[in-house]
Amino acid sequence: MKKPLIIILVILLIDQSLKIWIKTHMFIGQEIRVMGDWFILHFTENNGMAFGIELAGESGKLILSIFRFIAIVLIAFYLARISREKVHPGLVISISLIFAGALGNLIDSAFYGLIFSESAYYHPAQLFPEGGGYSTFLHGKVVDMFYFPIIKGHYPAWFPIWGSEEFIFFRPVFNVADSAITIGVFTLILFQRRLFPRKSDHGTNEIVSLP
């Protein structure tokens, strides 16, 4: 169980440290160009899931936060079980990444509304403000900051629905927690046959190593 804990703690430390710095040093919409026009720190917040996907209204926000909590509990039980079994290390690492990412965003949703003042378009937020936070438990906003507009252009005029509109790849703004979830999920999908144990001809579990 030692390796999963290290992965989770490192992801959470990086994720929360960067979010707290962004929240207390930048205002909404502010940008810091790290590498030209293709790697930008762009401060934004969202009420929903990874990459800015949202559920409408306060009830949607509450439902999403509760769903996150239930998912994290289930993932924690699964991670604890596979950590005690003879499974491929890549499976443990992938689930640890997903767990850490989900927990990182849940911390935002659960506590940021309680410990931060509202971020605005003209000044950064304050940590532990005198008058209390901007929202209630489970109603905080998730902090995003990574923006990679690598390719910019316009759709052809004949293109359905989006004809002549601006095209940007990659448009969504995300955070470290989103990245951890995405890496973990894609690893499970791409290497599922190697990460999950399978029955051999003799009925025993066979672990196939990554190349």
Report pLDDT for 65: 81
Euclidean distance between CA atoms 80 and 35, whole angstroms = 40
Report pLDDT for 16: 98
* C-alpha neighbours within 13 Å on the C-beta side of residue 185: 9
Provide the sign of the torsion angle of the four alpha carbons 27, 33, 37, 42, taken in this order.
Answer: negative
Q: Which active-site residues does the annotation give?
A: 144, 178
Report pLDDT for 37: 86
CA proximity to 173, closest of 61, 85, 52: 52
DSSP E strand stretches across 19-150: 31-35, 39-46, 142-147
Report pLDDT for 151: 86
Element (H, E) at 169: strand 166-169
Average pLDDT along the chain, 211 residues, taken 10 residues at a time: 90 98 97 92 81 59 83 95 90 96 94 96 94 92 94 85 83 94 96 77 48 46
Report pLDDT for 66: 85
The answer to whether the beta carbons of residues 26 and 40 sit under 8 Å apart is: no
* C-alpha neighbours within 13 Å on the C-beta side of residue 188: 13
Report pLDDT for 48: 62
Euclidean distance between CA atoms 20 and 80, whole angstroms = 29
